[in-house]
Amino acid sequence: MIKELVLKTALPSPELSEFVGSFWMLINNSDNEKDIATLPDGRVDVLFTFSETEPLNAMLMDLDRQSSQTLFAVKTTIFAVSFKLLAVEYILETSVADQQNIPLFLPDNFWNITIDDLNDFDHFVKKISQKMLSILKDKKVEDKKRKLFEYIYASDGSMTVKELSEKSFWSSREINRYFSKYIGISLKEYCNILRFKASLPQIKEGKFFPELNFADQAHFIKTVKKHSGLTPKELNKNENDRFVQFLDLPKK
């Protein structure tokens, strides 16, 4: 029996792990539109999508701040790369600061991905990984940026701006200038998104008390509601299975 909604994820190779969070595909095999919602995860996505009625399109999606809801069209396939923030500068070579949650359509044949590449997820991951490695081949990431993001992701955003600045040897003013230029939000706001994302597995398990560096229970609930529109208990119910991240929460 063919599943109506198929979600599959894959982790990047070690060489790409500081730039890529995951690869994923989402397919609607049914003859009905699916009401789905996504939650902020601290990543910037490039989507490759097509359907029986629409040709292949490539789109750059900027950083989600709140939950978004959409109708997933009939017989539609999406293959995607979820990027960590260093990739915005070093792989995508752009900025999403002014994108305002509007998809940016990328050139036809972007990164030489064709509709045939979306027939096999493993093939897609391999091909697009090779492309990204070729882009990175002659680039050197500044040590302060590498250190900053290592600490941000290792702590799931639970370290303070002061701690991150001291450990990366990069002033908080310069860090926030960098975030403003490439992402459009402050470091503190980005860390709050990561803490929210890191709380999803515990919320899915029915644990409604903060396990990361939240000031108190009220702060935890406020953060969850800000980014999902729901309290932790409401989010746990995941009515109609609409939050796709709850279908298959990938490992870090």
**Is the sign of the CA dihedral 115, 116, 121, 122 positive or negative?**
negative
The predicted pLDDT at position 178 comes to 98
According to DSSP, the residues that pair with 20 across neighbouring strands are 83
**Is the sign of the CA dihedral 103, 106, 111, 117 positive or negative?**
positive
CA–CA distance, 228 with 231 (Å, rounded to integer): 8
CA–CA distance, 134 with 91 (Å, rounded to integer): 10
The predicted pLDDT at position 207 comes to 84
CA–CA distance, 120 with 186 (Å, rounded to integer): 38
The predicted pLDDT at position 252 comes to 36
The architecture of the domain spanning 5-136 is: Sandwich (2.60)
The per-residue pLDDT string of the chain (252 residues; one tens digit each, 9 = 90 and over) reads: 457 888 899 999 999 999 999 999 999 998 888 888 889 999 999 999 999 889 999 999 999 988 888 888 899 999 999 999 999 999 999 999 999 889 999 999 999 999 999 999 999 999 999 999 999 999 999 999 999 999 999 999 999 999 999 999 999 999 999 999 999 999 999 999 999 999 888 888 888 877 766 777 888 888 899 998 888 888 888 765 677 766 654 433
Q: Model's pTM, two decimal places?
A: 0.90
The predicted pLDDT at position 251 comes to 39
What is the enclosing helix (H) or strand (E) of 243?
none
The predicted pLDDT at position 240 comes to 58
The predicted pLDDT at position 241 comes to 65
The predicted pLDDT at position 100 comes to 86
The predicted pLDDT at position 247 comes to 60
Main-chain dihedrals φ then ψ at residue 126, nearest 5 degrees = -65, -45
